């Protein structure tokens, strides 16, 4: 590997920011994790990111990074240098990429974090042979990213707009956490599953799900449904199948618009594996047009939590020619 074959990836998350030195083969050679305080201003955050990058580079003096890529959990402005509606308010509309790049004399840019994860899966995941790869990231919210010939496909906001807010259902009228009503996210996210399992456990206090949460000394949540589902608990399996079917309707719709070769299921809920992917695929094939769904392969995303750092860095790597 030549000394040029690296980039720095910064994956800005809600709880913490992960920073890594990533090779053009998609391997993370060194990583740091930073938790910024809610009272930190943008300059203080830049100083902490820069210190971590400096630390990483001094541990790998032979590595000469091609640049710095940032995955930002919000909308990206068209210049790919700043964003807004992220989960660190101090960084909204702040020229983060420019400032960090200037500190190290390196090119820098940012992508939406879901878009970055999709790029990582498309370049380095198990299904990297697909030309058109659609990632459904099902976690607290639902993110959707399309990568075509190694490049993120952008409609608005640094990704496919708010595709996880597909309006799908005459709901009970309660808005989702982003504010729309009857969207997929309000039915099929970890947030939605938290509500489902809490209502279930209130009605069924003797159920294994309720007993598990009680033994952990907290309210039941989506993670309990995943764990108990994998252990074969019928109620948890049914809840996951329900979420999978809603996601399947989303997948059918996105397949009919974007014609992906592969649909990947990632995000925290994908730890449920086939308990979620199976119902998702069946519902997508039942409800979508065969013309669009027959060519699609359904698969689990393979990079897990590292997709964020790897994809942030990968936006700096040269794009493979189709």
Which residues contact Zn ion by CB under 5 A? 165, 176, 178, 180, 183, 185
The tokens 């992220």 sit on which residue? 86
Least CB distance from residue 180 to Zn ion, whole Å? 4
In whole angstroms, the minimum distance from the beta carbon of 169 to Zn ion comes to 11
Interatomic CA distance for residues 308 and 321, integer angstroms: 23
Closer CB to Zn ion, residue 23 or residue 87?
Answer: 87
Q: From the CB of 204, what's the least distance to Zn ion, in Å?
A: 28
Tell me how far, at minimum, the Cβ of 187 lies from Zn ion, in Å.
Answer: 9
Give the integer Cα–Cα distance in Å for 138 and 227.
Answer: 16
Instruction: For helices 234-258 and 190-203, give the axis angle rounded to 10 degrees.
Output: 150
Q: Which is nearer to Zn ion, 130 or 183 (CB)?
A: 183
Taking the least distance from each CB to Zn ion, the nearer of 117 and 192 is 192
Report the alpha-carbon distance of residue 25 to residue 136 in Å, rounded: 23
Calculate the alpha carbon distances from 303 to 148, 246, 252, 289 in Å. Answer: 18, 24, 24, 30
In the complex, minimum distance from the CB of residue 143 to Zn ion, in angstroms, rounded to a whole number: 12
Would you mind telling me the total number of residues written for the chain in this entry?
A: 322
Q: Which DSSP symbol is given to 13?
A: -
- Residue among 267 and 311 whose Cβ is closer to Zn ion: 267
Residue 227, burial from CB neighbour count under 10 angstroms (0-12, 13-18, 19+): middle
Please report, for residues 173, 255, 265, the alpha-carbon distance to residue 191 in angstroms, rounded to integers and kept in the order given.
16, 24, 17
């Amino acid at each position: 590997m030549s000394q040029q074959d690296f980039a720095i990836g910064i994956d800005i998350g809600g709880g913490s920011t992960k920073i890594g030195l990533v090779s053009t083969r998609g391997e993370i050679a060194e990583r740091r994790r930073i938790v910024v305080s809610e009272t930190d201003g943008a300059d203080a955050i830049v100083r902490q990111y820069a210190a971590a990058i400096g630390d990483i580079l001094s541990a790998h003096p032979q590595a000469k990074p091609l640049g710095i890529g940032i995955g930002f959990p919000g909308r990206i402005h068209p210049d790919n240098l700043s964003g807004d509606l992220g989960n660190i308010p101090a960084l909204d509309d702040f020229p983060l990429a420019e400032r960090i790049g200037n500190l190290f004399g390196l090119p820098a840019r940012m992508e939406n974090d879901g878009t970055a994860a999709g790029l990582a899966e498309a370049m380095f995941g198990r299904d990297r042979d697909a030309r058109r790869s659609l990632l459904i990231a099902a976690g607290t919210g639902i993110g959707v990213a399309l990568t075509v010939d190694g490049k993120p496909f952008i409609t608005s906001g640094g990704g496919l707009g708010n595709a996880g807010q597909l309006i799908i259902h005459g709901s009970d009228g309660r808005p989702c956490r982003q504010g729309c009503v009857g969207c997929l996210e309000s039915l099929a996210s970890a947030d939605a599953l938290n509500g489902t399992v809490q209502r279930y456990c209130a009605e069924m206090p003797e159920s294994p799900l309720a007993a598990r949460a009680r033994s952990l000394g907290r309210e039941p949540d989506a993670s309990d449904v995943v764990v108990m589902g994998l252990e074969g608990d019928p109620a948890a399996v049914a809840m996951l199948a329900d979420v999978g079917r809603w996601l399947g309707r989303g997948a059918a719709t996105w397949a009919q618009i974007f014609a992906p070769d592969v649909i990947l299921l990632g995000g925290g809920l994908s730890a449920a594996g086939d308990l979620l992917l199976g119902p998702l695929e069946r519902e997508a094939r039942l409800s979508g047009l065969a013309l669009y769904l027959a060519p699609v392969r359904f698969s689990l995303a393979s990079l897990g939590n590292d997709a964020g750092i790897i994809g942030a860095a990968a936006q700096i790597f040269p794009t493979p020619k189709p």
